[in-house]
Amino acid sequence: MTEGEVPRPATPALATGAVGIVYDRTVLGAALNDLRARDYRIAAFDCRRWSNPLEAGQELGNALGMPESLPRTIPVVGSYVQELARSDEPFGDLRLRMAVVLGVFDDFLGRHRADALVLLDELAQASRMALLFHHRILVLVQSDDPALDVVAVPTTVITDRQAFRSSLWTRGQR
DSSP the chain: --TTPPPPPPPP-GGGTPEEEE--HHHHHHHHHHHHHTT-EEEEEEGGG-SSHHHHHHHHHHHTT--TTS---HHHHHHHHHHHHT--SPTT-GGGEEEEEEETHHHHHHHSHHHHHHHHHHHHHHHHHHHHTT-EEEEEEE-S-TT---TTS-EEEE-SHHHHHIIIIIGGG-
pLDDT at 164 (0 to 100): 82
Domains of the chain, each with CATH number or no CATH: 14-173 (3.30.370.10)
pLDDT at 85 (0 to 100): 85
Task: Report residues of the chain scoring pLDDT below 70.
Answer: 1-12, 89-95, 151-152, 169-174
pLDDT at 1 (0 to 100): 40
pLDDT at 172 (0 to 100): 41
Stated pTM of the model: 0.84
